[in-house]
Amino acid sequence: MIQPIFLYGSEVLRKKAEPVDLNDKEGVAALVQDLKDTLKVADGCGLAAPQIGVSKRVVIVDGREMVDVYPYLKDFTRTLINPVILEESDEKCTYQEGCLSIPGIYADVIRPSKMTVEYYDENLEKVVETFDKFSCRMIQHELSHLDGNLFTDNVAPIRKKMIQKKLQNISKGKVHPHYNAKIK
């Protein structure tokens, strides 16, 4: 079911998300489906459960939206349940990020260029996978949501100062994304 996306200023976006109970298979499946349905109408490339108001450690990414820029993502979709970062590279890279919870704002963010993550997939099977390039970026961005961090927390101080007024406007509801959104 399509859910509203919580916007900057919503408390749920700043909480550390709780692990999912893997024994609740129906609940996990319903949450994953809600994330997929919501992401599809929002036209994003990733979504974390806190962004739909559920403080649980689940994220989805779908690189197919980015195939024009990154052809290697043509079949890249992942569901990560209770993910744990096992290793991050010392090498860093910079990409411009945006977020469905912070519509209309984009900024360069420096993050590790490669990482290895342990997670459960949609079938609740344990997976250990290494990501690089933009797939790594998408996953890092979404995993940050699980710890209550937003990409704007990681931008250069001068850029943060430049976007402060826009962030305040979002938190006051002075934004009109093309998808159902709310602040709480």
Instruction: State the catalytic residues.
Output: 142
**Residue 13 to residue 48: CA distance in whole angstroms:** 10
**Residue 37 to residue 56: CA distance in whole angstroms:** 17
Nearest to 46 by CA among 121, 136, 107: 136
CB contact at 8 A, 101 and 184: no
Distances, alpha carbon 64 to alpha carbons 51, 77, 78, in Å: 20, 7, 11
Report the number of secondary-structure helices (H) and strands (E) in the chain: 3, 9
